[in-house]
């Protein structure tokens, strides 16, 4: 457990005391009133126990939940997300949870086995990317739109175990092979949270399912979600405005995370590797160099925490400046952290595309 989640747990343990105080105050007031037409609300203590899978979906869920419930995170920031192996503690956490929120689109390949192991028949699942047609993972083109749509129709909640069994084994046993250049996320590139427009849909999905599951707190979920969606709309406007002058800018990232963002704002992303665990092969370097020759590549980006001499080598070979952009797979757990990182990503993209 990270210090942040420990801190959160402490906060949540304190809540029943606060609501007990409110209850006593309300009860006392009612004694002297002629009629008490509303029962004391205890929305903070009655809120659901929610577990999210990893950072972006954690930020979005916390933004919607606010003070209403407890929100924990399965993959604590700093742990690798793409090839995550669930632990017995994760199963314990899910066994005690009311709601599980996932990014979806195949990002959390470990999840269906974990949910089965947790044995919590009451657990409600929220797929935050429900209805989003993700682009193909490879190079930002959308050839596989129809396949993904088909998959969406058999959506997650009810049929999860059967439907995803095949994926699970693929990832667990053959993770690296699967993620080679012939990689496929059968459901499309899952990095939808990096597109401020798709992020709005994720927040709305989380809101709608929370309202279904916990209608008592609907008003709070609605107003929290609205505030966060407004911020995402503002962010989208800033991206549009800042990236308009660099339309068509072709950039290379370390891992294949920014395709949705690129497509949204008229840029082109190529990636050195598919997922961060992949090691950079001579073929990757050759492919990137060819791409740089074919297209006019403007920028090369690494990621925070990735130090690989081969990226520096590519940068100097291609005479491209090297900056970092952050795929938000790790970081701080305050919902506002999303905007901080996305604005700094925007600055880096805009600067690199203009300067080269």
Q: Which residues bind Zn ion (CB under 5 A)?
A: 257
Asked if 231 and 154 count as a contact pair (C-beta separation under 8 A), the reply is: no
Q: Give the integer Cα–Cα distance in Å for 125 and 318.
A: 46
Quote the least distance from Cβ 92 to Zn ion, whole Å.
26
Residue 129: count of CB within 10 angstroms of its CB: 25
Q: Give the integer Cα–Cα distance in Å for 130 and 315.
A: 38
Give Cβ neighbours of residue 350 (< 8 Å, ≥ 6 apart): 242, 243, 246
In the complex with Zn ion, which residue's Cβ is closer, 172 or 277?
277
In the complex with Zn ion, which residue's Cβ is closer, 209 or 255?
255
Quote the least distance from Cβ 275 to Zn ion, whole Å.
6
Quote the least distance from Cβ 74 to Zn ion, whole Å.
16
Asked if 121 and 235 count as a contact pair (C-beta separation under 8 A), the reply is: no
In the complex with Zn ion, which residue's Cβ is closer, 22 or 79?
79
In the complex with Zn ion, which residue's Cβ is closer, 126 or 257?
257
Residue nearest to Zn ion (CB): 257
In the complex with Zn ion, which residue's Cβ is closer, 99 or 257?
257
Quote the least distance from Cβ 260 to Zn ion, whole Å.
11
Q: What CA–CA distances, in Å, run from 311 to 182, 254, 257, 353?
A: 21, 8, 16, 18
Q: What is the dihedral of CA 276, 318, 354, 272, to 10 degrees?
A: -20
Quote the least distance from Cβ 344 to Zn ion, whole Å.
18
């Amino acid at each position: 457990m990270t210090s942040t989640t420990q801190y959160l747990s402490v906060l949540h343990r304190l809540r029943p005391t606060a609501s007990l105080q409110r209850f006593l105050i309300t009860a006392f007031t009612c004694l002297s009133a002629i009629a008490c037409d509303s029962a004391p609300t205890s929305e903070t203590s009655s809120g659901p126990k929610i577990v999210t899978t990893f950072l972006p979906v954690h930020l979005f869920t916390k933004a919607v939940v606010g003070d209403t419930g407890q929100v924990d995170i399965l993959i604590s920031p700093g742990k690798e997300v793409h090839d995550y192996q669930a632990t017995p503690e994760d199963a314990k956490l899910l066994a005690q949870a009311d709601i599980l929120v996932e990014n979806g689109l195949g990002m959390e390949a470990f999840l269906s086995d974990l949910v089965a192991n947790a044995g919590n028949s009451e657990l409600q699942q929220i797929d935050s990317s429900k209805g989003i047609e993700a682009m193909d993972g490879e190079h930002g083109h959308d050839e596989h739109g129809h396949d993904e749509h088909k998959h969406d129709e058999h959506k997650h909640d009810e049929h999860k175990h059967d439907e995803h069994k095949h994926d699970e084994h693929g990832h667990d046993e053959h993770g690296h092979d699967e993620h080679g250049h012939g990689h496929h996320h059968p459901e499309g590139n899952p990095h939808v949270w990096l597109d401020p427009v798709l992020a709005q849909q994720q927040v709305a999905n989380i809101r709608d399912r929370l309202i279904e599951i916990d209608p008592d707190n609907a008003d709070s979920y609605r107003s929290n979600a609205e505030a966060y969606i407004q911020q995402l709309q503002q962010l989208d406007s800033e991206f549009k405005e800042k990236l308009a002058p660099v339309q068509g800018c072709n950039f290379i990232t370390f891992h294949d995370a920014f395709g949705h963002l690129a497509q949204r704002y008229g840029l082109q992303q190529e990636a050195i590797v598919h997922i961060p665990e992949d090691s950079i092969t001579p073929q990757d370097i050759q492919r990137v160099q060819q791409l740089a020759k074919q297209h006019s590549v403007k920028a090369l980006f690494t990621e925070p925490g990735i130090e690989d001499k081969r990226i520096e080598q590519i940068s100097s070979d291609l005479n491209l400046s090297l900056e970092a952009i952050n795929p938000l797979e790790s970081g701080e757990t305050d919902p506002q952290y999303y905007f901080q990182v996305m604005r700094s990503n925007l600055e880096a993209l805009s600067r690199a595309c203009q300067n080269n």
